[in-house]
Amino acid sequence: MNTIKIAFVVGLALSLQMCNEAQDKTKENTAKVQKKGNFANFDVDYKAHEFDVKEARTITHPTGTKIEIPANAFIDINGKPIAGKVKVNYREFHNATDIIVAGITMQYDSAGKKHPFETAGMFDIRAEQEGKPVFLAKDKKIQVNLASYKEGAFNFYYLREAKPTEKVASISLPFISQAIAQDIRPGENTWELLSTSNLPTENAERKQKLAEIDKKLPVQPSEPLPYDEKTPVFDLDIDTKDFPELRAFEGIVWQYAGKLEDDTQNPQKNEWIFDHQWTDIRLEDAGEMQYRLVLRSASKQFESQVRPALKGLAYEKAKAFFAEKKKQYEADLKAHANEIEALRTEKTYSSRMAKFVRSFQIQNLGIYNCDRIYRDENAIEIALELNTPDDPSATKSSSAQVYLIMGDVAVNFYANGNKVNNITINTKRANKMVVIFSGSEKIGVYSTEDFKSITQAHKGKTVAIQLKTIPEPIKSTSALEDVLAKL
């Protein structure tokens, strides 16, 4: 057996770049703003951001939305610029749960006919100082880069909300461009079209976070290989700090890993390399526990494939250590995959970063919606008669909000008594329905399985359906999410 003794240290230069991410330094908490939604005891929470009004401020929402507020942007009810701290309250709506809880109308009146909306993201932004509302000055605009979970072109709308407060209604304020937001009630609020065909861009911050997570991919441990007496050996002195996968191994023997018949790489067929003076020696990871050995001098170069091997007790010890490291590696790999999935998954919109961003400039505080009229060439229009056999009193209310959920689309309709007209539905989709009864915390539901009884043959007809009422009042957003998940 020929042993080639080559002593060297393999060096690896690492460059680390430290990034200072600009962060929102505002005081942030959950704001308590006047309740407007469908349920008495909870609503979609606002996030409160408090800062000095003289400073420009960028607010970052967990979904990836960025709100750029200019300095001295707010005025009081008398039209005077405010000084000191201002609190900006912000919330978003992206999925069926958000829409149902908030009770915001998803119907658009065009030429006297109401059409259901499909949203690519809504937001609600307010401002206050010491508990009193303040308004956006006429010469100021807020840039909103809204998180969005949907591709394609959507329009941009502003909600003109009814019933301003008596104080504001009695004063003419031409210098205030703010429409005062009040209680949301069926039929009283209207969407105003601001712009059309808004297209999203990729969320650069989300992309960067995914890249950062990918950099944390755990290093796969290398399984030790047994020594083969028939294979040529290289005696190499390696600094394993540059090869972390080899740190656990002691007594490594480097053996030729190429084909024995290879005249160019087999050291047994190139004995001249033993006597040559090499000035540059490199070891490069080739994957799957193989390495590329490169020897260079001013006049010659030799390359070969090598692998680390172990003998006897060192091999048995390394095998036991590898088993432990492999178990830990698999756990770390799963955690890494879960971290990426948590960022990519779009089920819990309030805490997970969106894939897209849609950008707008706004001149009023209030509710905005990136929407389009829901259209489905395969849908039919029907009327519904709502019945609740397990709680007959539920459908005796004068009105109810009906939410039809079709995959990732949630639209709402209004019931007059127990009748709902002009519902548009694709009977081939996974449909489900939630009905919010006026003056009650109870809800009625109609499951995907129930909807299978409605077919294309019902087009233009009134269909009597039997809703199941949820016996316990809905007390939280998570409770509603649980109900929707089971439908």
Q: Which of 268, 173, 271, 291 is nearest to 222 (CA)?
A: 291
Number of domains in the chain: 3
Q: Match 């432990």 to its residue by tokens.
A: 324
**Residue span of the structural domain in which 238 resides:** 3-16+219-335
Would you tell me how many other CB atoms lie within 10 Å of the CB of residue 463?
15
Residue of 398, 370, 412 lying closest to 104 (CA atoms): 412
Whether residue 283 is contained in a domain is answered as yes
Do 37 and 43 form a contact (C-beta atoms < 8 A)? yes
**What is the C-alpha to C-alpha distance for residues 134 and 126, in angstroms, rounded to an integer?**
8
Same domain, 166 and 289: no
Q: How many CA atoms lie within 13 A of 349 on its CB side?
A: 24
In this structure, the answer to whether residues 80 and 186 fall within a common structural domain is yes
Contact 1, 233 (CB under 8 A): yes
CA-closest candidate to residue 367, choices 173, 121, 147: 121
Claim to verify: residue 60 and residue 146 sit in the same structural domain: yes
pLDDT values of the chain reduced to their tens digit, one per residue, 487 residues: 444 443 333 332 222 222 333 334 444 455 555 556 888 889 999 999 999 999 999 999 988 899 999 999 999 999 999 999 999 999 999 989 999 999 888 888 877 777 888 999 999 999 999 999 999 999 999 999 999 989 999 999 999 987 544 344 333 333 333 333 333 344 468 899 999 989 998 887 777 777 777 777 887 887 888 888 888 887 666 666 666 666 656 677 888 888 888 989 998 898 888 788 888 888 888 877 788 889 899 999 999 998 888 888 878 888 888 888 889 888 888 888 887 776 655 444 444 678 899 999 999 999 999 999 888 888 899 999 999 888 877 776 667 889 999 877 888 888 888 888 888 888 888 999 999 887 666 789 999 999 999 999 999 999 999 999 998 888 899 999 999 999 9
Final residue of a structural domain among 308, 335, 362: 335
Cβ density class 339-367: b for 16+ within 10 Å, e for less: beeebeebeebbebbbbbbbebebebbbb
C-alpha to C-alpha distance for 256 and 234, rounded to whole angstroms: 7
CA angle 441, 446, 447 (to 5 degrees): 125
Tokens representing 355 are 């894939």
Task: Find the Cα–Cα–Cα–Cα dihedral 440, 349, 155, 405, rounded to 10°.
Answer: -50
Query: The tokens of 415 are what?
Result: 């019931």
Same domain, 283 and 228: yes
Q: Are residues 247 and 329 in the same domain?
A: yes
Instruction: Measure CA 348 to chain center.
Output: 8
Q: Quick one: 225 and 246 in the same domain?
A: yes
Report if residue 345 sits inside a domain: no
Judgement on whether residues 73 and 196 belong to the same structural domain of the protein? yes
d(CA 66, CA 377): 36
Q: Are residues 238 and 324 in the same domain?
A: yes
